[in-house]
C-alpha cells in the first residue's frame, strides 16, 4: 500500500517539474510538440529507473560500508554521465529512428537536474531498493505527464495572441504556474 | 583576441548576459530556493563560490585537459567544490543547509557553471575568467535577490525576516508555494524583455 502511495505521490503531488522545479530546461525548451515531448519523457523515465537502481547499489554497497558518503555528489554525477552514454549507444544500435527523434536531448539528460536529484533524494530518504526503483519510475512518469501537458498547451498557444514581451519563456512559466496551481489540488489525496 | 574591456567583461553578467533574466540558465535553484531572501542569498553565495573556484581551476589547467574528456573533467572539478560548499554549509549554518536541502548538491548540474567553463574559462586567461565568474555570480545573486524579495514580501510580509507590511496585510500564501515562483519569474522575464526592447528602440 505504501509503495502505491509513493508511486502516485511521485507522479502527481511531488511532481518533479511542478513541485521541485526540476528539469525546467527541457520543460521550457523541448515541449513544443507532443511527439517529441513524449519521447523525451520516456527517455528520462528510462534513464531515471536505471539510475535509481544503480545509485542505490553504489550507495548501499560501496559508499556506506566504506564510510565514503561525502563522495556521494561526485560518484552519483559520474554514474549518471556514464549511464547516459551507455543508453545513448544502446538506443543508437537498437532503434535508429528513436535515436534520431531524441537527437540532442539525450546527452542533455546528463545535465538534467531531475536525474541527479532523484539519486540524492532516494539516498536522503533512505528508501530501500524496491522503493527507490518505484520512486524513480513514478518521478519519470510525473515528468512525462508534465512535459506532455505543457506541449499540448503550447501547441494551442502558438495560435493565441500573446503580448510581445511575454512570448517564449515568459508565457511558458506563467502557464507552468497555473498548472502547478492545478496540481496543488492533488496534495490532499494522499496523507 | 579579447575585444571587450575588463569593465565590460565584469558588467555583462548584470544585464546583457544576466544568467537568469537573459540566458535563462540555472532555473531550478532560481525557482526552488527563492521563497525567502535568506535562502536566495545563501544559494547565490554558494553558487558564486563554486563558479569562481571552478573558473580559476579550469582556466589554469585548460592546456592540460584533452578536449575529448573536457566535460567530464569540468564536472569533476565542479563536483569537488560543490562538496566543499555543501559540507561547509552543513557544518557552520545547519538551519540554512536544512532549508536548501538537496538543492545545494544540485549546484553541480547548474547550467551556469558548466556553461561558463565551456564558453569562457576554457578559452580565456585566468584573470579574465575570474572577472567573468565574479560578474556572472553577482548577476545571479542579484536575480535571486529580486525574485526572493518579491516572493517574501508578498508571501510572508517580511524582508530578510523583518516585518515590513502592516497589520492590514494578509500574506499571499501562494507566493511561497511553487505556482508563485513560476508566475513571478514569468512576469519578471517579460519585464526584462520589455525593458530591453524599449532601450533598443531608443538607440
| Mean pLDDT (whole number) for B95-115 | 85
Q: Could you please report the per-residue DSSP string of A157-187?
A: HTTS---GGGTTHHHHHHHHHHHHHHHHGGG
Cα three-residue angle B179-B183-B189, rounded to 5 degrees:
145
How many Å apart are CA A11 and CA A13, to the nearest integer? 6
Residues of A in contact with B87 (CB under 8 A): 70
**Cβ <8 Å between B187 and A120:** no
**Cβ <8 Å between A170 and B193:** yes
| Mean pLDDT (whole number) for A64-90 | 83
Q: Three-class SS of residue A31?
A: coil
Q: What is the pTM of this model?
A: 0.85
pLDDT tens for B11-47 read 887 878 888 887 777 777 788 888 888 989 999 999 9
Q: Three-class SS of residue A52?
A: helix
Tell me which DSSP letter residue B171 carries.
P
Does pLDDT of A108 surpass 70? no
| Mean pLDDT (whole number) for B161-186 | 84
Element (H, E) at A64: none
Does pLDDT of A146 surpass 70? yes
| Mean pLDDT (whole number) for A14-40 | 79
The answer to whether A126 contacts chain B (CB < 8 Å) is no
Residue of B nearest to A29 (CA): B24
Q: Which residues of B touch A (CB under 8 A)?
A: 24, 27-28, 31-32, 72, 75-76, 79-80, 82-83, 86-87, 101-102, 105-106, 108-111, 114, 174, 177-183, 185-187, 189-191, 193-194, 197
Q: Can you give the pLDDT at residue B84?
A: 93
Cα three-residue angle B48-B50-B56, rounded to 5 degrees:
100
Count of all residues that appear for chain B in the document: 203
CA distances from A135 to A31, B26, B127 (A): 23, 25, 45
**Cβ <8 Å between A74 and B76:** yes
The answer to whether A157 contacts chain B (CB < 8 Å) is no
Residue in B80, B105, B114 nearest the CB of A120: B105
Strands (E), chain B: 158-159, 162-163
| Mean pLDDT (whole number) for A25-40 | 75
Distance from CA of A109 to the nearest CA of B (A): 10
**Cβ <8 Å between B87 and A70:** yes
Question: Choosing among B21, B74, B75, B179, which should be mutated to test the A contact, i.e. which has the most A CBs within 10 A?
Answer: B179
Q: Can you give the pLDDT at residue B3?
A: 63
**Cβ <8 Å between A170 and B28:** no
How many Å apart are CA B185 and CA B189, to the nearest integer? 6
Tell me which DSSP letter residue A38 carries.
H
Does pLDDT of B165 surpass 80? no
Question: Choosing among A135, A177, A185, which should be mutated to test the B contact, i.e. which has the most B CBs within 10 A?
Answer: A177
**Cβ <8 Å between A77 and B108:** yes
Residue in B108, B179, B194 nearest the CB of A165: B194
**Cβ <8 Å between A78 and B76:** yes
According to the per-residue pLDDT averaged within each range, which of A116-120, A132-136, A152-156, B1-5 is highest? A132-136
**A69/B120: higher pLDDT:** B120
How many Å apart are CA B70 and CA B118, to the nearest integer? 9
Task: Give the pLDDT band (50/70/90) at residue B1.
Answer: very low
Rounded to the nearest 5 percent, the helix, strand and coil shares of chain B are 75, 0, 25
**What cell was used for A135?**
520512486
Q: Can you give the pLDDT at residue A139?
A: 92
Does pLDDT of A102 surpass 80? no
Residue in A70, A81, A184 nearest the CB of B179: A184
Residues of A in contact with B31 (CB under 8 A): 21, 24
Amino acid at each position: 500500500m505504501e509503495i502505491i502511495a509513493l508511486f502516485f505521490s511521485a507522479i502527481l503531488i511531488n511532481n518533479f517539474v511542478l513541485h521541485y522545479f526540476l528539469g525546467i530546461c527541457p520543460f521550457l525548451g523541448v515541449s513544443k510538440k507532443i511527439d517529441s515531448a513524449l519521447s523525451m519523457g520516456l527517455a528520462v523515465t528510462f534513464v531515471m529507473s536505471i539510475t535509481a537502481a544503480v545509485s542505490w547499489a553504489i550507495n548501499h554497497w560501496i559508499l556506506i560500508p566504506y564510510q565514503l558518503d561525502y563522495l556521494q555528489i561526485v560518484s552519483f554525477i559520474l554514474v549518471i554521465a556514464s549511464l547516459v552514454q551507455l543508453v545513448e549507444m544502446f538506443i543508437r544500435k537498437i532503434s535508429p529512428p528513436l535515436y534520431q527523434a531524441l537527437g540532442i536531448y539525450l546527452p542533455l539528460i546528463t545535465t538534467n537536474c531531475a536525474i541527479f536529484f532523484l539519486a540524492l533524494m532516494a539516498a536522503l530518504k533512505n528508501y530501500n531498493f524496491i522503493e527507490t526503483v518505484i520512486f524513480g519510475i513514478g518521478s519519470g512518469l510525473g515528468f512525462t505527464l508534465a512535459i506532455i501537458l505543457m506541449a499540448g498547451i503550447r501547441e494551442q498557444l502558438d495560435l493565441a495572441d500573446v503580448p510581445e514581451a511575454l512570448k517564449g519563456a515568459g508565457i511558458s512559466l506563467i502557464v507552468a504556474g497555473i498548472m502547478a496551481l492545478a496540481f496543488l489540488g492533488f496534495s490532499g489525496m494522499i496523507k | 583576441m579579447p575585444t571587450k574591456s575588463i569593465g565590460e567583461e565584469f558588467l555583462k553578467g548584470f544585464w546583457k548576459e544576466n544568467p537568469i533574466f537573459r540566458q535563462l540558465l540555472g532555473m531550478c535553484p532560481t525557482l526552488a530556493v527563492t521563497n525567502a531572501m535568506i535562502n536566495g542569498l545563501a544559494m547565490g553565495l554558494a553558487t558564486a563560490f563554486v563558479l569562481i573556484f571552478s573558473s580559476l581551476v579550469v582556466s589554469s589547467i585548460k592546456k592540460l585537459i584533452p578536449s575529448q574528456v573536457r566535460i567530464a573533467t569540468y564536472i569533476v572539478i565542479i563536483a569537488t567544490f560543490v562538496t566543499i560548499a555543501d559540507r561547509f554549509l552543513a557544518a557552520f549554518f545547519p538551519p540554512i543547509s536544512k532549508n536548501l536541502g538537496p538543492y545545494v548538491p544540485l549546484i553541480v548540474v547548474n547550467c551556469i557553471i558548466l556553461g561558463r567553463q565551456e564558453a569562457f574559462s576554457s578559452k580565456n586567461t585566468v584573470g579574465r575568467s575570474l572577472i567573468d565568474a565574479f560578474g556572472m555570480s553577482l548577476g545571479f545573486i542579484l536575480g535571486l535577490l529580486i525574485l526572493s524579495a518579491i516572493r517574501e514580501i508578498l508571501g510572508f510580509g517580511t524582508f530578510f525576516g523583518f516585518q515590513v507590511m502592516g497589520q492590514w496585510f494578509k500574506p499571499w500564501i501562494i507566493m511561497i508555494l511553487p505556482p508563485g515562483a513560476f508566475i513571478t519569474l514569468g512576469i519578471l522575464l517579460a519585464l526584462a524583455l520589455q525593458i530591453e526592447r524599449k532601450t533598443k528602440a531608443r538607440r
